[in-house]
Copies of this chain bind each other. A is one copy, B any other.
Amino acid sequence: MRTLEIESLDFEKGGGLIPVVVQDYRSLRVLTLAYVNREALKRTVETGYAHYFRRSKGKVMMKGETSGNVQRVLDILIDCDQDALIFIVEQKGVACHLGEETCFHNRLKGAESLKERGRTEILKKPPEEEHGHS
């Protein structure tokens, strides 16, 4: 794994913002998708707590600043194009402002059949190609 400087990140592509996948360090569940500008990322590294650029408010805020549901950041990963990040976090309380553990608590209509189709295909494979599935 390579180590990259903050200066190598591509903030320009997203108009000054980079999307951040926020993932729980223990369950590996994706908690939310947020955005950082340079300032939010610098504050995150400095404090060890997730800071995001809140598009609806137009400013940098510490996650949990008002709710107390802060995110202790344990790792920051960068993708191959340097235009997306992962924060590995320890979430205090819940991530979603609606009280759910993760913000991703809705399913797209039609997705149930994808699951069934996919499972059928995976099960059909010869044993040497078969993958574990839950």
Contacts and interface: CB of A to CB of B under 8 A. Distances in A.
Stoichiometry, copies per complex:
2
A122 to B, nearest CB: 6
A117 interface: yes
Contact of A30 (B76, B86, B117): B86
Contact of A32 (B1, B13, B79): B79
Interface string A72-90: 1111111111101110001
Interface of A: 1-6, 13, 19, 21, 23, 25-26, 28-30, 32-33, 41, 45, 48, 55, 72-82, 84-86, 90, 96-98, 100, 103-111, 114-115, 117-119, 121-122, 131-134
A90 B118 CA distance: 8
